[in-house]
Structure 1
């Protein structure tokens, strides 16, 4: 679940600008080499990017200049648990995406010209298909096809030196700093503490 709204002064982005920025966000957030194909396909279903033109935009110095990089405010909405664990990472990815647009346009963005807000929605206030849901419900939706492949034994094995997160299917390095858990003698790797905790809850394991 990635709901991304990008606000900018009316008339300052054209369709190509929106395509460059939107594609950059998708490339960064949905990198195909980081997750299994099943999970990436579900994540694409749950990712929505929209642009909002705002009229009468003013700063403390008045109307933004018509030259150079227009100011941008990005709001990313995710489950609260994701915000608490990955807010810094999300901001970094969005900042990189805006930088790609600026580089493509030859814009020198001034400091204070980009603001990013990561909103976390509490459990029960997330409306997956319009029904009250939790972060675990959203994760279950994203990984339903991956888990089905696991149960059927058709899930792709982890590449050498890597582990596949059993919750979300993300491919993580098997080394120092990796979030791991041993279960019945099997070393499991996780992309985040949230996936590790979700696995422990599912299997009734203490953390």
Structure 2
């Protein structure tokens, strides 16, 4: 579950521009192909549990500038996600959200716009996120996103990725290249690949094997 807040100058984007920006943030659409792939069920669940709110503050100063119709350059993005995800995701999110906001501003206001985008990524302490009154940790949230896919591949061993030498992470479905830098786990003659040590830990616990150091 992600909660994204965007602060935009009053009147800079208009209603259609705000909706376009929110849609792109939900889709995580920055126009860059990173060769990533998730099953559609995972993509759908991820979008379904992403919240985006676009604010237009009445009073906003950035240094000596009053942010508004006369100076619409400044945009701020605040992202909240489970703390265990921050180390792996923060750098990518800063880059992606900066690009999404900047590109959308230029699409709305014209190619001459010069948006300055400030992005903050905040980790939310385990157990302080919840859905329908139930507190959920990062592993429970991951299961919420990936449950349908994980059920479909249960007991199959490593699931091959779209390219030779790749596999799907058995926890989150991300495609992992099995090279020298890959995070892996050998189990009963199979080699699993993971997008992060957090996913490897969760899978090792499911298999009932020691968690690699």
Give the TM-score taking structure 1 as reference length: 0.86
Distance 2:12 2:138 in 1: 36
Separation (CA, whole Å) in 2 of partners of 1:159 and 1:63: 50
Contact 2:9–2:68 (CA<8 Å) still a contact in 1?
Answer: no
More relative contact order in 1 or in 2 (CA 8 Å, sep 6+)? Answer: 1
Q: 1:171 to 1:55 in 2, by over 3 A?
A: same
Q: Give unpaired runs (5+ residues) of structure 2.
A: none
Partner of 1:60: 63
Say if 2:129 is the partner of 1:126.
yes
* Correspondence for 1:28: 29
Q: Deviations over 1:6-29 (max 9, x none)?
A: 112222221232234234331438
Matches within 5 A, 1:5-84: 5-25=5-25, 26-28=27-29, 33-64=36-67, 66=69, 69-84=72-87
1 CA distance for matches of 2:67 and 2:57?
A: 12
Aligned: 1:200 with 2:200: no
Which segments of structure 1 move beyond 6 Å, counting only runs of 4 or more? none
Once superposed, what is the RMSD of the aligned Cα atoms? 2.5
Contact 1:21 1:100 in 2 (8 A): no
Q: 2:183 aligns with which of 179, 186, 191?
A: 179
Matched residue count: 202
Match of 2:3 in 1: 3
Instruction: Give secondary structure in 1 for the equivalent of 2:56.
Output: strand
Deviations 1:158-184 (A, max 9, x none): 323220110111122232322221111
Structure 1, unaligned stretches of length 5 or more? Answer: none
Give TM-score, length-normalised by structure 2: 0.83
Distance 1:74 1:52, change over 3 A: same
Instruction: Tell whether the 8 Å contact from 1:179 to 1:189 is kept in structure 2 after alignment.
Output: yes
d(CA) in 2 for partners of 1:204, 1:63: 58
